[in-house]
Structure 1
Amino acid sequence: MSVRPASVGTFLRAAPPDRLPEVVAQHLRTWFPVDDVELFLSDLTMTALWPVIDPDAAAGGPLAQRCFGSQQPVTDNGTGTVLLPLTTWGDRLGVLYIRFTSTPERETLAELASVADELAIALRAADKDTDRYRQVARRQRLTMAAELQWELLPGRSLGGERFRLAGQLDPAYAMYGDHYDWSVTDDRLTLTVLNGDGDGIEAALLTTVAVNAMRNARRSGANIVEQSELASDAVYSRYGGKSHLATLLLEIDLTGGAVEAVDAGSPKALIAREGGIRPVSLEQQLPLGMFGDSRYETQKFQLEPGDRLLVVSDGVHAATPGGKPPYGDSGLLSALRRTRLQPPTEAVGTVIRALRDYHAGAEAADDAVIVCLDWLRRTA
């Protein structure tokens, strides 16, 4: 009698990077009473889930959306359907859909959750070696500037025991120079939000120079002051002060909640605490690359357990479509209050949708970035 393999991971690691969904489907059909398998991946706007194995099939329905949004398994005993979230380190990729010939046992569901975890990790690793999954996620062609920006992003969300983090850019298919970056090492989370200068591919190239300069410094062990100064020097060396970037750099102590900040321009930070929302007051310094040999200083503020930290670019807080008051005056606060019970992964989408509604069909004058961090309450 054949013995079911303990893990699908061995088969995934041996498979070509573009065939991972089929490997999982074959594994499930071989060892479980399965009638149908599909893999749904989120599109770039995080508003729909699209099939991979059968690209002509319909997009994921309400059950798939509920699974993706809640990040919890969803079962429909009436149809024998099980949906499992595909997530790596808090980054949501999509949903694994399985339809059984009979209602699965509870022990089976635990095994399927392991299969979904193995598939998510494999998809993350394979992303650099095949275009298949990115082609599914794209529902229209990106501009060249957007292509550069998506390639530069660290991910869409990140999570651990002490924090939940998510970011979103808009418009997804035609953004320019606005960007975010993050990295977690030990007990430190470094977070950067940039307002790029200019339009089109030149704005994206400017951002690429600055982000990679900051990463170069960070990966060499430099603090956020040194990251800012190296990036400023790199941008000034390339553009001679004609182009620059407004940037907010944060380093967050995930143990105690202390935050060090370099405010080099227009991104704004806000803290949601116990039902209220207040701006973080920081002294603004020169944008990166405006002058040669610019020097920066850190400022400090404190997060409390349970706080939500939000950072938005000027395409959000300073948006004035059709001569309306800046979105940050009241519209942003209203949108943020509606996100109070949502995780960061859902909250960033809520704010972006509210910003689009505020434009009421008018073309946005700038691209937009929002990053949302929940610093979770410490447990004993």
Structure 2
Amino acid sequence: MSDRPVSVGALLRATAPDRLPEVIAEHLRRHFAADRVEVLVTDLTLRRLAPLLGPPGPDSDPGALRCFGSQRPGTETDITGRARLHLPLSCWGERLGVLRVELPERPEPEQADELRIVADELAVAMRAADRMTDRYRRAQCLERPTMAAELQWDLLPGRSLGDDRFQLAGLLEPAYDVRGDHFDWSLLGDRLTITVLNGAGDGMESALLTATAVNAMRNARRCGSDLVEQAELASDAVHSRYGGSLHASTLLLEIDLISGWVDAVDAGSPHCMVGRGGEIEQIRLEQQLPLGMFGEARYEIERFRLEPGDRLLVVSDGVHAAAPGGGTTFGESALLTALRRTRLQPAGEAVGTVMRSLREFHKGYEPEDDAVTVCLDWRR
């Protein structure tokens, strides 16, 4: 019989942060008679998986990719009766990767439940260990990021979050060469704060601008400030550093997960849309000054309301204003089509669909800007 779930958690907590895959593989071999075990983590693009136990590089297992996309366990059995299980590794809605386990036979339901608990325990441990070892980040980077991209990725809160009230996901591209675009979020009780930011400039200067604005907003938020105070503190911080020569276009949202009311401060270029009943409508907000454009700028909150089942989408100008070759913009000609394709997809897959459509739109041209897409499904 396998150990009880608490034993797995205690085992992982007693393990060095960089040794979690080896310890869980040994546990599965000893208590579940597993022949082979692999821990796969997603790369920065969320399109490829990389092994932690096997040789470095992308893994081509289609079953693992299906499991990662659907976030549902899968079992395949060959003609000899041997079973290959794929178990999602996720923590508080954050998709980390897939645990692949090969067994002599298909597991009984009770054993399958225990294996899912092992995967859940491993995901929590890996999420906690990420700040204490470079092992998992190294596997994620199938290419070398620029210094600006490294800074931007380290600022992100994660790439998905959720519970029974909502599902939230964000994607930042091009993954290995981003500059000033960014998203942030925080959940506190029934209030969910989301910001999408587009920093001006290029390279490290743009990344440092974004870091200044994001950390100023976090500082205000963590001290209990509302959206106006968050925007004003960040604007003052950016202006103090750059004197108005650089600024950060930002959309700040705070969603009441009980009532659906959304407080918003529109300080620039990110666009906000709501999908409801098969239709997609842009939320028209009064565009206020980008953060840092002028000293002592003042901001006002606007409000709109979500309905249960609504999908809220926010895209940076690298999405809606993309115009490869100087033609029509993605927002004018292709964005709504891309968003309609996401109607039946979970939030984590929806952001990928939008970004794939954007890459197809750029076919033959290099993107001139980085891009952010954030998707929130409010279930109530």
- Would the TM-score normalized by the shorter structure come out above 0.5? yes
For structure 2, the residue ranges without an aligned partner over 5 or more in a row are none
In structure 2, the residue matched to 1:240 is: 243
Per-residue deviation, 1:33: 1.9
In 2: Cα distance, 1:57 partner to 1:282 partner:
45
Deviation (angstroms), 1:103: 1.9
Of 361, 366, 369 in structure 2, the residue corresponding to residue 363 of structure 1 is 366
Give 1:307 shift: 0.5
Say whether 1:331 aligns with 2:330: no
Note the 1:142-291 alignment, pairs <5 A: 142-291=145-294
The one-character-per-residue Cα deviations of 1:182-237 (angstroms, maximum 9, x if unpaired) are 00100000000001100000000000000000000000000000000000000011
Q: Which runs of 4+ in 1 moved over 3 A?
A: 2-6
From the superposition, tell whether residues 311 and 3 of structure 1 become closer, same or farther in structure 2 (CA, over 3 Å).
Answer: closer
CA spacing shift, 1:37–1:340, aligned 2, 3 Å: same
Counterpart residue number, 1:12: 12
Instruction: Return the offset for 1:303.
Output: 0.5
Q: Contact between 1:157 and 1:165, CA under 8 Å: does it hold in 2?
A: yes
**More displaced 10-residue stretch of structure 1: 54-63 or 176-185:** 54-63
RMSD: 1.2
Structure-1 residue corresponding to 2:298: 295
Q: Could you tell me how far apart the structure 1 residues matched to 2:55 and 2:11 are?
A: 23
- The AA in structure 1 aligned to 2:177 is A
Decide whether the 8 Å contact of 1:33 with 1:102 is kept in 2: no
Match of residue 42 from structure 1: 42
**2:288 and 2:58 mapped to 1: Cα distance?**
50
CA distance, structure 2, for counterparts of residue 230 and residue 86 of structure 1: 37
- 1:33 partnered with 2:4: no
Deviations 1:132-171 (A, max 9, x none): 1111110111101000000000000000111100000110
Pick the aligned partner of 2:103 from 96, 100, 103. Answer: 100
CA distance in 2, matches of 1:5, 1:304: 42
Question: Is 1:55 the counterpart of 2:55 in the alignment?
Answer: yes
What's the TM-score, normalizing by structure 1?
0.97
Q: Deviations over 1:108-142 (max 9, x none)?
A: 00000110010000000110111111111101111
Conserved in 1, the CA contact under 8 Å of 2:88 and 2:119?
A: yes
Distance in 2 between residues matched to 1:208 and 1:373, nearest whole Å? 24
SS at match of 2:35: strand
Q: What secondary structure sits across from 2:292 in the alignment?
A: coil
How many angstroms apart in 2 are the aligned matches of 1:361 and 1:149? 27
Cα offset for 1:56? 4.7
Structure 1 gap ranges (5+): none
When residues 56 and 229 of structure 1 are mapped into structure 2, their CA distance, relative to the original with a 3 A threshold, is closer
- Matched-pair contact (CA < 8 Å) for 1:51–1:60: no
Please, what TM-score do these two structures have when normalized by structure 2? 0.97
Give the conservation status (yes or no) of the 8 Å contact 1:306–1:375.
yes
Q: Secondary structure at the match of 1:341?
A: coil
| In the alignment, structure 1 residue 128 sits paired with structure 2 residue 131 | yes
**Is contact 2:58–2:142 with CA below 8 Å preserved after alignment?**
no
1:57 and 1:300 mapped to 2: Cα distance?
47
SS class of match (1:98) = strand
Which AA in structure 2 matches 1:4? D
Shift of the 81–119 alpha-carbon distance from structure 1 to 2, 3 Å rule, reads: same
Aligned residues: 376
CA distance in 1, matches of 2:270, 2:4: 51
CA shift in 2, pair 1:58/1:330, >3 Å: closer
Secondary structure of the equivalent of 1:351?
Answer: helix
Q: CA deviation at 1:3?
A: 7.7
Name the CA distance, whole Å, in 1 between partners of 2:310 and 2:107.
40
- Residues 179 and 194, structure 1, Cα contact 8 Å, conserved in 2: yes
* Aligned AA (2:224): G
Q: How many percent of aligned residue pairs carry the same amino acid?
A: 62
Contact 2:90–2:120 (Cα < 8 Å) also in 1: yes
Q: Is the 8 A contact 1:40 1:60 kept in 2?
A: no
